[in-house]
């Protein structure tokens, strides 16, 4: 059995305003879970509660089915939304310090810091003071800081913001390698990125989970939608068919939702009227799901 990270009915209020309201979801090990929601939806607050930096008003975080301990939380890797490291401390020294806080020996910490810095091509900047690095490089060091102690789980708040596409790819590759079979939760505004990287998705709106599950499943949710194209001619007659809901008609192409007939029944009906060039199921885009869920 692999170790799951369960978020169970977490709530947090500030001055009677519910910022996070009864949020529950599971971060499955070995799968990348994306955490999306509009600004102020409660993503950061939820992540801070998972890390124990903020106490929940109610609810709990479970690790392996049991309430999580402080010792276990220390074995998590965390990248807060508001980036922060010691600006006047040397890069490697800083990483070694953080690793030692997590209980790792100095020697091992130094080895690990060198390894991570080299991965980011920052090996030659190891003895430079952090704030002499460019912002992009500081961001890389920040990621290294969250990975320095080989965490059991990763919770990253907007890890890709401020990175160029090449850096995003490099970081995504590193995260995939580092996370391996461990739970990885990250939040992001960049839906294409989430679509590309995530296996599971949790959508938060106004402090509540409005959709959660495997990305494929979420996209498959909703009506069975098909695009039908004839090999020439006008398809307007499709409106007369029963058991479908026509969403759009444009010349020889129509988009319809099935409501009562099966896909093969629809296909037979269309083929009966002439040659068909295209008949494909339409999967919802993530942004459509997101818009729908947070509407």
Partner 1 sequence: MTTTSIPPTTSPYAGTDSVRGAWRVVAEREITTRVREKTYRYSLLAMVVGIVATVVLSSLLGGKPTDHTVGVVDERGAGIVTAASAEVDRADDGSSAEPRELASAEAAEQAVRDGDIDAALVPTDDGYEVIGDKEIDGTLSAALTSAASGQVLESNAEEQGVDLGELTAGSAVSERLLDADAEDAGSRQVAAFVFVLLFYVTAVTFGMTIAQSVVQEKESRVVEILAAAVPIRALLWGKIAGNTVLALGQIVVLVVTGVAALAATGENGLLSSIGPAMAWYVVFFVLGFVALAGLWAVAGSLASRQEDLGSTTMPGQIILFAPYILAVAAGEGVKTVVSLVPVLSAMIMPARMAEGGVPAWQIAVALGGNVIGAFLLVRFAARLYERTLMRTERKIGFGEALKLSD
Which residue number, 64 or 231, has a Cβ lying nearer to partner 1? Answer: 64
Question: Helical H runs in 41-188?
Answer: 43-51, 70-73, 91-101, 106-119, 135-147, 165-179
- For the segment 176-205, give every residue that binds partner 1 (CB under 8 A): 181
What's the closest the beta carbon of residue 73 comes to partner 1, in angstroms? 7
213, β-bridge pairs: 201
Interacting positions 114-153 with partner 1 (CB under 8 A): 145-146, 149-150, 152
DSSP percent split of the chain into helix, strand, coil, nearest 5: 35, 30, 35
From the CB of residue 88, how many other CB atoms can be counted at a distance below 10 Å?
9
The interface with partner 1 within residues 35-94 (CB under 8 A) comprises 48, 51-55, 63-64, 66, 70-76, 78, 80, 82-87, 89
166 binds partner 1 (CB under 8 A): no
In the bound state with partner 1, the residue whose beta carbon lies nearer, of 61 and 235, is 61
Q: Quick one: which H or E segment has residue 233? A: none
**What is the smallest separation between the CB atom of 144 and partner 1, expressed in angstroms?**
12
SS3 284: coil
Segment interacting with partner 1, rule: CB under 8 A, options 96-104, 163-171, 231-239, 262-270? 96-104
From residue 3 to residue 32, what is the string marking binding to partner 1 with x (rule CB under 8 A)? x-------------------------x---
Contact 169, 110 (CB under 8 A): no
Query: 209 vs 100, 183, 195, 203, CA distance in Å?
Result: 36, 19, 18, 6
What number of other Cβ atoms are within 10 A of residue 83's Cβ? Answer: 17
Does 223 interact with partner 1 (rule: CB under 8 A)? no
The binding site for partner 1 (CB under 8 A) comprises 1-3, 29, 48, 51-55, 63-64, 66, 70-76, 78, 80, 82-87, 89, 97-98, 100-105, 107-108, 145-146, 149-150, 152, 181
């Amino acid at each position: 059995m692999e170790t799951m990270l369960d978020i169970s009915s977490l709530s947090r209020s500030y001055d009677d305003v519910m910022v996070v309201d009864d949020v529950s979801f599971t971060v499955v090990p070995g799968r990348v879970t994306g955490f999306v929601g509009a600004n102020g939806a409660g993503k950061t607050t939820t992540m801070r509660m998972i890390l124990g930096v903020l106490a929940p008003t109610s609810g709990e975080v479970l690790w392996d089915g049991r309430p999580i301990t402080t010792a276990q939380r220390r074995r998590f890797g965390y990248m807060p939304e508001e980036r922060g490291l010691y600006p006047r401390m040397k890069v490697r020294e800083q990483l070694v310090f953080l690793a030692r806080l997590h209980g790792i020996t100095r020697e091992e910490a130094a080895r690990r810091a060198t390894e991570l810095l080299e991965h980011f091509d920052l090996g030659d900047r190891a003895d430079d003071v952090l704030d002499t690095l460019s912002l992009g490089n500081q961001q890389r060091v920040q990621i290294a800081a969250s990975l320095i102690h080989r965490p059991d789980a990763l919770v990253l708040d907007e890890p890709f913001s401020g990175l160029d596409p090449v850096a995003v790819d490099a970081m995504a590759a590193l995260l995939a390698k580092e996370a391996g079979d461990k739970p990885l939760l990250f939040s992001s505004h960049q839906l294409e990125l989430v679509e590309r990287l995530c296996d599971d998705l949790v959508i938060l709106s106004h402090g509540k989970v409005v959709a959660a599950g495997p990305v494929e499943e979420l996209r498959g949710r909703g009506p069975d939608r098909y695009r039908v194209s004839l090999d020439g001619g006008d398809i307007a007659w499709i409106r007369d068919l029963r058991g479908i809901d026509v969403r759009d008609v444009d010349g020889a192409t129509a988009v319809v939702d099935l409501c009562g007939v099966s896909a093969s029944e629809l296909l037979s009906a269309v083929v009966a009227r002439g040659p068909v060039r295209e008949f494909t199921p339409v999967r919802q885009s993530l942004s459509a799901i997101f818009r729908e869920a947070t509407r």
